[in-house]
Chains A and B, each alone.
Chain A
Amino acid sequence: MTVLLVNLILMALLVVIVVLLMRTNRLFAVVVLSGAYSLICAAIFVNLDAVDVAFTEAAVGAGISTVLFLAAMAFLPANERQPPRSHRITNNIAGLSICLLTGGILIMAALELPAVGDPNGPAQIHVAPRYLAESGEVLNIPNVVTTVLASYRGFDTFGETVVVFAAGLGVLLLLGGLTRTGRATKAKAAVAKTGPKTGRTKAAKKGAK
């Protein structure tokens, strides 16, 4: 009963945050509200006994993402530009009906899903019993999430790590000055500043050779 009540309050807070997110056009408020949204999601995950997911959501969603957005926001104007208001009623009706249709389809599909925690649901009877039985007894690792993530699904996690690496590399190549042209222009700038004779840069050395 308490869990239900807490869940209801948290869900209500999520709805409030989403409405606020839609109504504001100040980017700072949007970023902070997104962080709050993630934090409340983390609380809901704790309520669902998904502590690992909650941990990740709190650390990544509420923590790092907010900081990264704030860092990126320094280069943006403070307010979102308002899209030109559409006065044609047909546009609005088309948008509304697409929203209602998609939402209706999703709700219909969700009704087909097994209930949360249903012991006969496909998630519970496929490989989960083996993982649950083996992880603690045979592998001596009490946290089943870790064994699924690192051991049974090691390939997937390897892929995830490579994706994180590729994402970091991509951002560095685009923004971080890792490119050859970036280095060359820096060297050129140094040469221009100090004069070609005193500037001991790679470009100057190459020129000497």
Chain B
Amino acid sequence: MNDNPILRITTKILFAPIIVFGLYVQFHGDYGPGGGFQAGVIIAAAFILHSLIFGLEAGRRLVPLWVNVWLMAIGVLIYGGTGIASIYFGGFFLDYNVLGDSVASGQHVGILLIELGVGVTVTSVMLALFHAFAGYDPKRFAVAEDGE
């Protein structure tokens, strides 16, 4: 929690543009530098900035823990699901050629999907890591130990 008005207002102004830039990196990876890993980190950075300035609880209201955990798994499932889908359409696992009308369009669809999966997983894992470290409460473990 930070009460400095400059930091708070700058965060409010920057929050959306950082996410838009992350989405640009995410979906522009075919043509320029970027892709799911980088985009995931950038989008996570926006949420982490929000949590740093407005407090961890506000950040957890924005992305609750259960949403965060589900997103971590959903990203991997999107990636794996793309592989299963390409088997379903008659190719090998992660063989994107069968996902579109032509080789080029199939590859574009496949790469878009798996990059999306990577982006979702990386975003949510980075956010979860930050919250786990920043919200770590040593007392909780002392209680858990004598509870068992």
| Contacting residues of chain A (37-62) with chain B, CB-CB under 8 angstroms | 51-52, 54-56, 59-60
Check B76 against A161 for contact (C-beta < 8 Å): yes
Query: Binary interface profile of A, 125-158, with partner B (CB < 8 Å = 1, else 0)?
Result: 0000000000000111111011101110011011
Q: Is B138 an interface residue (CB 8 A)?
A: yes
A161 in contact with B75 given A64-B41, A185-B147 (CB within 8 Å): yes
Residues of A within 8 A of B53 (CB): none
Tell me how many residue pairs across A and B have CB atoms closer than 8 Å.
Answer: 158
Q: Which of A141, A150, A155 has the most CB of B within 10 A?
A: A150
Stretch touching chain B among A10-18, A71-79, A87-95: A71-79
| Contacting residues of chain A (171-201) with chain B, CB-CB under 8 angstroms | 171-172, 174-179, 181-182, 184-185, 188-189
Question: How many of B's residues come within 8 Å of A, CB to CB?
Answer: 58
Residues of B within 8 A of A165 (CB): 72-73, 75-76, 121, 125
Q: Is B103 an interface residue (CB 8 A)?
A: yes
Q: Which of A56, A154, A160, A184 has the most CB of B within 10 A?
A: A154
Q: Is A68 an interface residue (CB 8 A)?
A: yes
User: How far does the alpha carbon of A184 sit from the alpha carbon of B29 in the complex, in Å?
Assistant: 44
A139 in contact with B118 given A55-B33, A168-B72, A185-B143 (CB within 8 Å): no
Q: Is A32 an interface residue (CB 8 A)?
A: no
Check B34 against A176 for contact (C-beta < 8 Å): no
Q: Which of A142, A175, A181 has the most CB of B within 10 A?
A: A175
User: How far does the alpha carbon of A150 sit from the alpha carbon of B31 in the complex, in Å?
Assistant: 13
Check A181 against B148 for contact (C-beta < 8 Å): yes
Identity of the chain A residue whose Cβ is nearest the Cβ of B80 in the assembled complex: A158
A interface with B by C-beta (< 8 Å): 51-52, 54-56, 59-60, 63-64, 67-68, 71-72, 74-75, 138-143, 145-147, 149-151, 154-155, 157-158, 160-162, 164-165, 167-169, 171-172, 174-179, 181-182, 184-185, 188-189
B interface with A by C-beta (< 8 Å): 25, 29-35, 37-38, 41-42, 44-45, 48, 52, 65, 69, 72-73, 75-76, 79-80, 83, 93-94, 96, 103-104, 107-108, 110-111, 114-115, 117-118, 121-122, 124-126, 128-136, 138, 140, 143-144, 147-148
Question: Apart from A161-B75, A185-B144, what 11 extra A-B contacts exist at CB < 8 Å?
Answer: A52-B35, A56-B37, A63-B41, A145-B33, A151-B96, A151-B111, A158-B79, A161-B79, A161-B118, A181-B148, A184-B147
Could you list 15 A-B pairs, sorted by A, with CB under 8 Å?
A68-B133, A141-B108, A141-B111, A143-B30, A151-B107, A154-B94, A161-B122, A165-B75, A167-B125, A171-B132, A172-B69, A175-B133, A176-B132, A181-B148, A189-B143
